[in-house]
Chains A and B, each alone.
Chain A
Amino acid sequence: MELLRSQTITARRQPLAASLSKWRRAVPLYMMLLPTIAYFLILTYYPLVHSVLISMQNFNLIGNRPFVGLQNYRNVLSDPNFWTSFRNTLVLGGSILVIGFVAPIIIALSLNEVLQQWMKRTLQMVIYIPHLFSWVVVGGLWIQRLNPDGGLVNAVLHVFGLRPVQFMSDPNLARWVIILVSVWKDVGFNTVLYLAAIVGINPELYNAARVDGANRWHEVWHVTLPSLTRTMQVVALLSIMGVLRLFDQIYVMRNAVIEPKVDVLMTYVYDQGFTQMNIGQATASALLILLATLLLTLFTRRLVQFDAM
């Protein structure tokens, strides 16, 4: 009996001791993880959870913060400015998404046809440069270039005998400026991703295609493009997550005249929160946007069946 009991005790103690020593061995790992865990808890998850609370308060930075239930959400959804920003986000974000998806594929395929290595590398470097610059720099450059009196673009138009165009004070033109400058800035980044993927394609596939009588267009269509699907998925997912984050560019490039046509959801949040000090309502709208982003991301992942990401 005595023996049996001690046996059960050791039998029970052993896994406990084993798991204890397992934890003890993990202590150095947890010390390495500590700052990261603290960062995510304090500066990502706490703000996220806190924002649910803020969104239901009439929030003041100093003083009392009365609870108002869903009033902020009702205010957001009945605010015409919110819906304008929503529509602008769809138009601007959607256009950037589509043009920004197709352009780097075309440029990468075109670059791949260049046989001289030095020329290929130089072009690739040049096309990548704008991606390095901040939106302040890119916005500043293009606002100056598009200036109706003396800007570079209008100077070129003048050479062709055309009249100066008010790019940044015509809301509809400004929309196109925003879309095209956004594509201009990021096209090199995605082009280099595609080029890297093209280099990795198994040359056997091209040989096999040639044996089957394929010409160059067939090769591009039946070998190169299908081999790029994975890269296309990475690019699509990254771009879709980027659409609802559109902020810096608009913040830098907008002006009072074009605002109704270019303000997006994130500038709406910023304006509500920090210009009008309407923090509760701003937080409510940010949460709605976050929810939409998450749904969109999950939906895209399912759509492109992106398991690796």
Chain B
Amino acid sequence: MNPPAMHLAELNIAHLRAPIDSAELAEFVALLEPINAVADAAPGFVWRLKESEVDPTATVVHDYGDHLLINFSVWESLETLWNYAYRSEHLAVLRRRREWFLRMMEPYMVLWWVPAGHIPTLAEGMRRLERLRSEGPGPEAFTFKDSYDSSEAVSLPAAAEARK
């Protein structure tokens, strides 16, 4: 049997310096629409969590604290996500992160493989980030710097669980 095709899920959280509707964050909020448009049109983009289909500036509402901004998406491969994050207009926005977000000592971004077609839940993403923080990178929760390819994830119980 062929292993299932795998996609890459990515979750990152950022600690806002000020409330999202404050003047300090206004420039960032103004950048949301154009940058999300770059993501949606990027090669390899599969899905991202949107709060609203009509308001492109609406950020994801969640239960993990209002000071946390959440980005959650699925991509066809490590390379396509990397090219979007670091080889598109997104890089210049990332470079300004200190203007809007506090520096975090713990990992704030996690990657893991999901079977193609499966959309993970935000709760699963937060669990993966916790796992990365507590146990370090592994095939079930990793980073760009210590990445694992999808073949190493296919046989894991976590992938099987996600397929249910």
A interacts with B: no
